A and B are shown apart, each in its own frame.
Chain A
């Protein structure tokens, strides 16, 4: 059994993996070796990674099952996009505008995380999963039914149709119900995406190794004991849950500023998406941040890379999912991995060389 845990260098390796992947991608692009299809996937990968890492905070670090992560992403995506549309002519410097949109997306999603968390975090296990699932669906459906326009009098909201917004002549419709938001300025790019990944990692990995992170993990490991040593359960659950929601909001803003037409469907912000994010987390290893990054990146790439297989595409995707699951969780394979891990091989190598020296 592995009894000592490694520390210190772990975080650096994680940052390193992200940075090296970024550099490799940039080299491939400038050398013209990356197809347009693949280039188009770079920002979605960043979105998936941020979502997976942030959900891991709820599922792995806090130990609560949330099935509504896509709902928080949806909030971030819509509020960020609305802000950008409103400010399109006022703030023309796009990096600043995008930064503010990110802030707004994060704050709104985080605030909703706080609101939902207040009553819901008193529930445990399956109940929390059910309520968050319902929350995600509600957000998606509201977004689908919403009409929003802007004119010189301000914002107009309607749940009927765009005519009932009663806009002045100079007004524009931002959200057109089920048609969603179209032609949001493409403020997001791969570099910003990678910076946001690094910020997310920085926040979560530093939080985990601090006083507050310890409290959160103590609650996960044993709620009763945590209470008995004076840790405020509600406060820390809310902190972790809202932070997780806020980071999902950031991922949403990144997402909405990278596509020409933002619509709320099951696959973008609904149940399917929430489950997909959970799949990243579970396959990458619950509580394992680096695993989440790798699983999210691979599983976002895979469907597109497998496109040449046409109809067999989702079949292969499912097989890869099963293979990853076995690789990650099967006891035999875990034992094999530990035996053949790089660290062990190095140690063996050191032992043999040091023996030789003694002789």
Chain B
């Protein structure tokens, strides 16, 4: 069974069919790419998958479970985590606290236990710190743990966002243009990080990207969106050589 099974997803905003008949099937452990020109509806697909928008039609199944009309927070609890195209960190929290916020639903103690500093508070916070530092180490952010997130350089903010998403313990990770605004060196480093995350956490990843080098370098399969509809999908090399894709998107 596929990890993520999306069938005939559609949504309209007023008269605009933003996404029409979108279907995709992603196997566990896959690195899947979603590409397309600006305004093709890629981020809308992410927003549908994470419950920000409710689809007009279509179904979303995660490991056989129907998650189509769940709330965003419940979809996260089911195991889908995401990053954002325009970075959305908790800017006035420390880097460590950003990741610990991601651990929110995995380690519990009540507000009373927290205020009165009961033993369970200390015990849980200690575990949370350990887990958070483990994640920060993966992204080489442990040295900046006490910095405010707003003061991190751009590339590290992107990494922190991925670390925070992973902290929620997802089965599927959605990355919305992770390389946006990065220079070629940073992009290369990011590719290594994404590969590493997949191996280390045994993660399935669906990513939106404009950087064709990155897409060609790490994605195994691609779906190309154009005007809200699927233009084509299949193995990366085939898709990128498809003449329709080249005219619609890559030019010439």
Closest residue of chain B to A209 (Cβ to Cβ) is B114
Do B151 and A1 touch (CB < 8 A)? yes
Do A5 and B101 touch (CB < 8 A)? no
Q: Is A224 an interface residue (CB 8 A)?
A: yes
Q: Which residues of the other chain, A, contact B91 by a CB distance below 8 angstroms?
A: 221-222
* Interface 0/1 of A188-231, CB less than 8 Å to B: 00000000000000110011001111110110111011111111
Q: Closest Cβ of chain A: how far from B213's Cβ, in Å?
A: 28
| A218-B90, A228-B50 given; A7·B146 CB < 8 A | yes
| A5-B148, A207-B114, A211-B114 given; A217·B105 CB < 8 A | no
**In whole angstroms, how far apart are the Cα atoms of A5 and B96 in the complex?**
12
* Interface 0/1 of B81-121, CB less than 8 Å to A: 11010001111111001001110110111010011110001
Closest residue of chain A to B164 (Cβ to Cβ) is A229
Q: Which residues of the other chain, A, contact B219 by a CB distance below 8 angstroms?
A: none
| A211-B124, A218-B93 given; A231·B73 CB < 8 A | yes
Closest residue of chain B to A219 (Cβ to Cβ) is B90
* Interface 0/1 of A3-27, CB less than 8 Å to B: 1110100000000000000000000
Task: Find B97's partner among A4, A214, A232 (CB 8 Å cutoff).
Answer: A214
Closest residue of chain A to B106 (Cβ to Cβ) is A230
| A5-B94, A5-B148, A7-B146 given; A225·B89 CB < 8 A | yes
Q: Is A74 an interface residue (CB 8 A)?
A: no
Do A231 and B101 touch (CB < 8 A)? yes
Q: Closest Cβ of chain A: how far from B157's Cβ, in Å?
A: 12
Within 8 A of B (CB), among A108-124: none
Do B90 and A217 touch (CB < 8 A)? yes
**In whole angstroms, how far apart are the Cα atoms of A128 and B36 in the complex?**
40
Do A230 and B76 touch (CB < 8 A)? yes
Range class of the A interface residue count:
20 to 34
Do B168 and A229 touch (CB < 8 A)? yes
Do A206 and B114 touch (CB < 8 A)? yes
| A5-B148, A211-B104, A230-B104 given; A225·B90 CB < 8 A | yes
Do B102 and A229 touch (CB < 8 A)? yes
**In whole angstroms, how far apart are the Cα atoms of A221 and B72 in the complex?**
18
Beyond the given pairs A218-B101, A228-B72, A229-B101, 10 more chain A to chain B contacts, judged by CB atoms under 8 angstroms and listed by A's residue number, are: A3-B148, A206-B115, A211-B108, A214-B104, A221-B91, A225-B90, A228-B76, A228-B81, A228-B82, A231-B73
Interface residues of A (CB under 8 A from B): 1, 3-5, 7, 202-203, 206-207, 210-215, 217-218, 220-222, 224-233, 239, 287
Q: Identify the 4 closest CB pairs spanning chains A and B, nearest first.
A: A210-B114, A230-B76, A225-B88, A221-B90
17 contacts between A and B (CB under 8 A): A3-B148, A4-B147, A7-B146, A211-B104, A211-B128, A214-B100, A214-B101, A217-B92, A220-B92, A221-B90, A221-B92, A224-B52, A227-B73, A228-B76, A228-B84, A229-B81, A231-B73
